[in-house]
């Protein structure tokens, strides 16, 4: 009970909480990495941002797209390379400034810049121009049929506020930079920032001038958001009533939470795959015991490592049945997913040993596995299970687990050879996966491709997807790219993640497949 008592003090410190039902006390395992809306393309970071900032288009909790700061969007009648967006009128930022087309042009150009982690979504856009205060045209390199899907996490900033606070440039989070935008906000969203203590607590209050007052429940008037990494502490906080809502109920505690009077567990498949990445591109790698060579560069080794992973055992033992074994790094929600590819991962230790011997590694090798411990459901436990499984084929794994804030830069800065990553697909299209995880690492694409894989023909195919309007031809190209990804074993898919949200029965919400609760949709009973 000392742990829970400490949490009580934390939640109550430096703020006076309303005892009414309008205060939502919300917890999850990890915090937002930054408040700069373009610096990180990461789920918890976007989720917190959605409460304060808004994109032109959002996805609701069913996954359907609906207008946010835009009310209409369509290709221009006489030019399919131009998308026309009509903006919502009368919207104000939290500081009272008007939202106009100038802010959209500024925000898109900012998100296309070098330090932005959102630029892969905008590679087809050659120009953004304001026609008038409430009309914006997006000019693309060719007709882009899925452009709106790329904008659902692309937040709009106030140009004047950014200029006044010297945050026109996106925060260089990988370089350790701190800026005014990384700790302060000025959005158009339903909630305003009151206080921010990274990894401790963030307090938001309702935006009294929110444009959507007549369109959404808006029952919550205050949010107290508390990251609680320790699973037992997080569950204890929910069971004791110290928090009202947690996004990540540990699988071992699902029954206990569901059976507790006054609490509810809601479960749904997530639009996310968990997998391991392997650095195949380097001639030699640092974190192994093989001198002058890279064992991961041999596709037979990568295949053997995948065959050594028993996904069914991970599902039953580690995940308590709360996962779906995966054979590809696309969830079933995504255009390009097929049941055949998703069923391709098979466990066969004997065949894996034979491949290792064929590749010249009959005696195996040692390597470091980098893993987060506060991002995905049972992330560190999955990595621990993989250590034992890989040992069966002679791959001796040294596990290094750390918080996501330290883990993710290892991937984006090419400092890991073997790592865990999870990938959601907010566009529901394979192009999103390819742009970030398969394309060669360049200034515009491949920012999360830590594998070193680079193929000019594949890059050209990926680039073509943004302007191909013949959907049959486009889907054929998507399949061709997936064939390469699968044959080369670029990644080792583990499973599709399942979401388990736990909440007080006074909280009304459905589970979003993106794991991104938008609190304006919540009701409070």
Per-residue pLDDT of 268-294, as tens digits, reads 999 999 999 999 999 999 999 999 999
Q: Is a pLDDT exceeding 80 seen at residue 436?
A: yes
Report residue 124 as tokens: 């087809």
Q: State what percent of residues in the chain have pLDDT above 90.
A: 94
DSSP 321: T
Q: Is a pLDDT exceeding 90 seen at residue 301?
A: yes
Alpha-carbon distance 44 to 65, whole Å? 20
Query: pLDDT, tens digit, for every residue of 407-424?
Result: 999 999 999 999 999 999
Where in the chain do CATH 3.40.190.10 domains reside? 2-244+506-524
Identify the pLDDT of residue 42: 95
Q: State what percent of residues in the chain have pLDDT above 70.
A: 96
Q: Is a pLDDT exceeding 70 seen at residue 20?
A: no
Is the CB of residue 398 less than 8 Å from the CB of residue 369? yes
Q: What is the mean pLDDT of the chain?
A: 94
CATH 3.30.870.10 fits 2-244+506-524, yes or no: no
Q: Is a pLDDT exceeding 90 seen at residue 9?
A: no
> pLDDT category, 65, cuts 50, 70, 90?
very high
Mean pLDDT, residues 312-332 taken together: 97
- E strand segments, 109-207: 125-132, 135-140, 191-197, 201-206
Query: pLDDT, tens digit, for every residue of 21-39?
Result: 499 999 999 999 999 999 9
Strands of the sheet with 135-140, listed across from one edge: 70-76, 79-87, 135-140, 125-132
Where in the chain do CATH 3.10.105.10 domains reside? 271-497
Alpha-carbon distance 147 to 137, whole Å? 12
Query: pLDDT, tens digit, for every residue of 94-137?
Result: 999 999 999 999 999 999 999 999 999 999 999 999 999 999 99
Query: pLDDT, tens digit, for every residue of 161-214?
Result: 999 999 999 999 988 999 999 999 999 999 999 999 999 999 999 999 999 999
Q: Is a pLDDT exceeding 90 seen at residue 59?
A: yes
Report residue 420 as tokens: 């865990």
Identify the pLDDT of residue 266: 97
Identify the pLDDT of residue 27: 98
Query: pLDDT, tens digit, for every residue of 335-354?
Result: 999 999 999 999 999 999 99
User: In residues, how long is the chain?
Assistant: 525
> pLDDT category, 19, cuts 50, 70, 90?
very low
Identify the pLDDT of residue 442: 92
CB atoms within 10 A of CB 9: 8
Identify the pLDDT of residue 11: 45
Q: How many CA atoms lie within 13 Å of 253's alpha carbon, on the beta-carbon side? A: 23
Indicate the CATH number for domain 271-497.
Answer: 3.10.105.10
> pLDDT category, 473, cuts 50, 70, 90?
very high
Nearest alpha-carbon partner for 305 in 453, 489, 448: 489
Is the CB of residue 242 less than 8 Å from the CB of residue 11? yes
Backbone dihedral angles phi then psi of residue 91, each to the nearest 5 degrees? -85, 135
The CA-based dihedral angle spanning residues 394, 400, 405, 408, taken in that order and rounded to the nearest 10 degrees: -20
Is the CB of residue 511 less than 8 Å from the CB of residue 266? yes
């Amino acid at each position: 009970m000392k742990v829970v008592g400490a949490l009580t003090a934390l939640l109550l410190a430096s703020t006076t909480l309303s005892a009414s039902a309008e205060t939502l006390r919300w917890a999850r395992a990890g915090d937002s990495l930054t408040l700069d809306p373009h610096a990180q393309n990461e789920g918890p970071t976007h989720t917190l941002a959605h409460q304060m900032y808004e994109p032109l288009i959002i996805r609701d909790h069913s996954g359907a797209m609906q207008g946010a700061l835009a009310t209409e969007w369509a290709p221009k009648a006489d030019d399919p390379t131009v998308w026309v967006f009509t903006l919502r009128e009368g919207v104000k930022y939290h500081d009272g400034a008007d939202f106009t087309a100038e802010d959209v042009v500024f925000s898109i150009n900012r998100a296309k810049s070098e330090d932005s982690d959102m630029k892969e979504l905008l590679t087809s856009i050659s120009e953004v121009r304001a026609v008038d205060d409430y009309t914006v045209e997006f000019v693309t390199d060719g007709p882009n049929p899925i452009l709106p899907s790329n904008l659902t996490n692309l937040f709009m900033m106030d140009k004047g506020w950014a200029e006044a606070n010297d945050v026109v440039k996106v925060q260089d989070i990988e370089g350790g930079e701190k800026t005014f935008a990384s700790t302060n906000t000025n959005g158009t969203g339903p909630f305003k920032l009151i206080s921010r203590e990274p990894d401790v607590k963030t307090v938001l209050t309702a935006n009294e001038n929110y444009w959507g007052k007549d369109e959404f429940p808006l029952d919550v008037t205050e949010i107290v958001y508390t990251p609680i990494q320790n699973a037992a502490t997080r569950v204890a906080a929910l069971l004791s009533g110290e928090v009202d809502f947690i996004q990540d109920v540990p699988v071992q505690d699902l029954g206990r939470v569901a059976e507790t009077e006054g609490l509810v567990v809601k479960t749904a498949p997530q639009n996310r795959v968990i997998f391991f990445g392997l650095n195949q591109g380097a001639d030699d790698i640092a974190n192994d015991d093989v001198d002058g060579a890279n064992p991961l560069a041999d596709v037979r080794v990568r295949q053997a490592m995948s065959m050594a992973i028993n996904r069914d055992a991970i599902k039953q033992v580690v995940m308590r049945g709360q996962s779906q074994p995966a054979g590809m790094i696309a969830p079933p929600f995504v255009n390009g997913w097929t049941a055949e590819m998703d069923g391709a991962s098979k466990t066969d230790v004997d065949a894996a040993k034979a491949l290792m011997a064929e590749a010249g590694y009959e005696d195996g090798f040692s390597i470091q596995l980098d893993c987060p411990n506060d991002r995905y459901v049972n992330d560190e436990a999955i990595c621990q299970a993989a250590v034992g499984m890989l040992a069966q084929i002679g791959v001796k794994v040294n596990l290094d687990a750390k918080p996501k804030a330290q883990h993710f830069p290892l991937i984006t800065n090419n400092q890991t050879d073997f790592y865990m990553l999870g990938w959601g697909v907010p566009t529901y299209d394979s192009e999103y996966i390819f742009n970030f995880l398969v394309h060669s690492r360049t200034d515009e694409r491949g920012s999360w491709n830590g594998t070193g894989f680079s193929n000019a023909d594949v890059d050209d195919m990926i680039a073509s997807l943004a302007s191909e309007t013949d959907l049959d031809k486009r889907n054929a190209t998507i399949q061709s790219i997936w064939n390469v990804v699968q044959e080369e074993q670029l990644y080792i898919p583990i499973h599709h993640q399942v979401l388990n949200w736990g909440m007080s029965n006074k909280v009304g919400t459905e589970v979003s497949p993106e794991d991104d609760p938008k609190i304006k949709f919540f009701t409070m009973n």
